[in-house]
Amino acid sequence: MNPIHITGFTVAGLATRTKNSDEFNPTTAKIARVWGQFFAGNLIDKIPSRLANSPVYGVYAAYENDANGFYDLTAGVSVSEGSADFSTVNIQAGDYLVFEARGAMPAAVIQAWGNVWAYFEQNPQIKRSYQTDFESYLGPNEVHIYIGVVGE
């Protein structure tokens, strides 16, 4: 799998801070609630300065350390500038590996994250950057997950 270079960009939307172990427990999980609020509020069309044709993004940033620590999740769209009404996160420019999934959501994206974790377990020589990672939803049944990696 070859990395692709992504130019940095900005995403605005709803955010929460969580960790994976909390997400495996329905009583402490926060990510599903953020997505529910995002779609229930029809925020795709309400976020100011949204770039035309922006997909919906799920951005993982502000990692405490690695996949076991706390991180921020932002559900949003790409924007030309931030807004006081929404959380803003900058996607870091850099090299990313892309994992694709198609199928019913959220099952397809959950399976894709399983593929991400398995890939890095099987390829320990490839290191995640833990700067920003993001999901790009290209339709109701397609997602691409971009995982930042450390350059050689």
Q: Does domain 4-149 have CATH number 3.60.20.10?
A: no
Strand order across the 142-149 sheet: 4-6, 94-102, 142-149, 128-139, 56-61, 71-79, 9-18, 87-91
Q: Tell me the whole-structure pTM to 2 decimals.
A: 0.94
pLDDT digits (tens, 9 = 90+) for 3-26: 999 999 999 999 999 999 999 888
pLDDT digits (tens, 9 = 90+) for 23-41: 988 899 999 999 999 999 9
Q: For strands 71-79 and 87-91, give the pairing.
A: unpaired
* pLDDT of 152: 56
Question: Coil, strand or helix: which one is 14?
Answer: strand
Reference 11, options 94, 101, 68, 72; nearest CA is 72
* pLDDT of 151: 74
* pLDDT of 124: 94
Residues of the chain with pLDDT under 50: none
